[in-house]
């Protein structure tokens, strides 16, 4: 399947006082089906670092990330990245923000406009094409950022706490919209979150990481049918099991 990811023995060391600091320690994982993966783990365990290494934004110290048979070396159009902060261009309208990546790819203006409109509609911003970022709410800005990332046609979508700054209600709406997009576009998503509720609502698999240095502690297969109801007893049961596993890692941190 397009956008197959193989993470093979990946480690990351950052320079630190008196030498180096091991942030990620020998992580291996394959993501080969149309899956929604959530990464959870205690603060500082290396979730963002791992995502950035998959994206090609962060050099890998040891091991390899292989996408469609090719080792990742720098960023690739196969991979889109959505950050917690919206990173929109303030001087561009919604339409022009979403067209940005297509301009870089030299897509002709008429086609660019059409593609951008499709994704602006998909994220529910059709009434705001001519608005500037400062005229949008936080949720709308994040919708725009998602449309801009999707417009260039990535096979893999990496999302680093994309809804972390939003209120609960907006967050729930965006989670549902994201799942619809994931199903429609058949992209793989790797989504970092601090919220176990969010992970259980979204994911096929929840990857629980250990306290630093980040390793994979456990991969929980969420076999619950979709669409999921946040209040179902089964959802709560899975959430509690993940919370318990995560809690032992958070406790390790506080015991240090
Ligand atoms: N550019 C950098 N240079 C040096 N150390 C870094 C750098 N980026 C991250 N680190 C360190 O690497 C470790 C992992 O950081 P990272 O941001 O990947 O963790 P995280 O799990 O995403 O954290 P959080 O949940 O708090 O966002 C932390 O100890 C952090 O201080």
pLDDT in tens, 89-119: 999 999 999 999 999 999 999 999 999 999 9
When divided into structural domains, the chain yields a total of 2
- Cα-to-centroid distance, 86 and ligand 1 (Å): 20
Is 247 among the domain residues? Answer: no
Cis bond upstream, residue 75 (ω within 30): no
pLDDT in tens, 62-81: 999 999 999 999 988 899 99
Does 187 lie in the same domain as 72? yes
- φ, ψ for residue 90, nearest 5 deg: -65, -25
Is 189 among the domain residues? Answer: yes
pLDDT higher than threshold 90 for residue 84? no
Find the Cα–Cα–Cα–Cα dihedral 208, 213, 215, 220, rounded to 10°. -10
Q: Whose CA is nearest to atom 6 of ligand 1?
A: 14
Does 216 lie in the same domain as 89? no
| Residue corresponding to tokens 């306290």 | 211
As a whole number, mean pLDDT of residues 127-132 equals 98
Q: Parallel, antiparallel, or unpaired for β 19-31 and 5-16?
A: antiparallel
pLDDT higher than threshold 80 for residue 45? yes
Q: Out of 153, 174, 197, pick the residue that ends a domain.
A: 153
Is 174 among the domain residues? Answer: no
Q: Give Cα separations from 241 to 36, 66, 145, 254 (angstroms).
A: 19, 31, 33, 20
Is 72 among the domain residues? Answer: yes
Question: Which residue ranges have their beta carbon within 6 Å of ligand 1?
Answer: 14, 23, 41, 43-49, 212
- Cα-to-centroid distance, 246 and ligand 1 (Å): 18
Instruction: Report the pLDDT value the prediction gives residue 150, as an integer from 0 to 100.
Output: 94
Does 133 lie in the same domain as 89? yes
Is 119 among the domain residues? Answer: yes
Does 10 lie in the same domain as 23? yes
> Which of 48, 59, 165, 215, when mutated, tests ligand 1's pocket best, judged by the most ligand atoms within 8 Å of its CB?
48
pLDDT in tens, 46-60: 999 999 999 999 999
Distance of CA 55 to the CA centre of its chain: 10
Does 51 lie in the same domain as 31? yes
Q: Give Cα separations from 133 to 83, 124, 230 (angstroms).
A: 16, 15, 31
Question: What is the number of the ligand 1 atom nearest to the C-alpha of 12?
Answer: 12
Spatial neighbors of 232 by CB under 8 A, at least 6 apart, are: 224
Q: Out of 153, 173, 208, pick the residue that ends a domain.
A: 153
- Cα-to-centroid distance, 48 and ligand 1 (Å): 7
Domain of 115 in residue numbering reads as: 83-153
Q: Which of 139, 238, 152, 147 is nearest to 196 (CA)?
A: 238
pLDDT higher than threshold 80 for residue 86? no
Instruction: Report the pLDDT value the prediction gives residue 151, as an integer from 0 to 100.
Output: 96
- Cα-to-centroid distance, 66 and ligand 1 (Å): 23
Is 176 among the domain residues? Answer: no
> Which of 40, 47, 83, 207, when mutated, tests ligand 1's pocket best, judged by the most ligand atoms within 8 Å of its CB?
47
> Which of 12, 14, 193, 215, when mutated, tests ligand 1's pocket best, judged by the most ligand atoms within 8 Å of its CB?
14
Does 72 lie in the same domain as 124? no
Instruction: Report the pLDDT value the prediction gives residue 253, as an integer from 0 to 100.
Output: 85
- Cα-to-centroid distance, 183 and ligand 1 (Å): 31
Q: CATH code at 214? A: 3.40.50.300
Between CA 70 and CA 80 the distance in angstroms is: 17
When computed from its CA atoms, the radius of gyration of the chain, rounded to whole angstroms, is: 19
Question: What is the number of the ligand 1 atom nearest to the C-alpha of 41?
Answer: 21
Is 245 among the domain residues? Answer: no
Find the Cα–Cα–Cα–Cα dihedral 156, 215, 176, 184, rounded to 10°. 20
């Amino acid at each position: 399947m397009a956008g197959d990811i193989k993470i093979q023995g990946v480690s990351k060391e950052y320079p630190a006082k008196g030498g180096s600091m091991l942030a990620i320690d020998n992580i291996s994982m394959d993501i080969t089906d149309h899956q929604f993966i959530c990464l959870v783990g205690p603060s500082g365990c290396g979730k963002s670092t791992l995502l950035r290494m998959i994206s090609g934004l962060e050099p890998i110290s040891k091991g390899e990330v292989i996408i469609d048979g090719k080792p990742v070396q720098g960023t690739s159009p196969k991979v889109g990245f959505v950050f917690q902060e919206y990173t929109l261009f303030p001087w561009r309208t919604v339409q022009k923000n979403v067209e940005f990546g297509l301009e870089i790819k030299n897509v002709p203006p008429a086609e660019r406009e059409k593609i951008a409109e499709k994704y602006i509609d998909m994220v529910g911003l059709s009434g705001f094409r001519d608005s500037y970022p400062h005229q949008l709410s936080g949720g709308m800005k994040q919708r725009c950022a998602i449309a801009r990332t999707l417009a260039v046609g990535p096979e893999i979508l990496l999302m680093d706490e994309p809804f972390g700054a939003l209120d609960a209600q907006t967050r729930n709406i965006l989670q549902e919209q994201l799942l619809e997009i994931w199903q429609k576009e058949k992209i793989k998503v790797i989504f970092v979150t601090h919220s176990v509720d969010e992970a259980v609502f979204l994911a096929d698999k929840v990857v629980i990481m250990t306290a630093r240095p980040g390793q994979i502690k456990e991969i929980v297969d969420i076999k619950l049918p979709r669409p999921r109801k946040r209040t179902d007893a089964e959802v709560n049961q899975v959430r509690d099991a993940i919370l318990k596993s995560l809690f032992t890692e958070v406790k390790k941190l506080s015991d240090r």
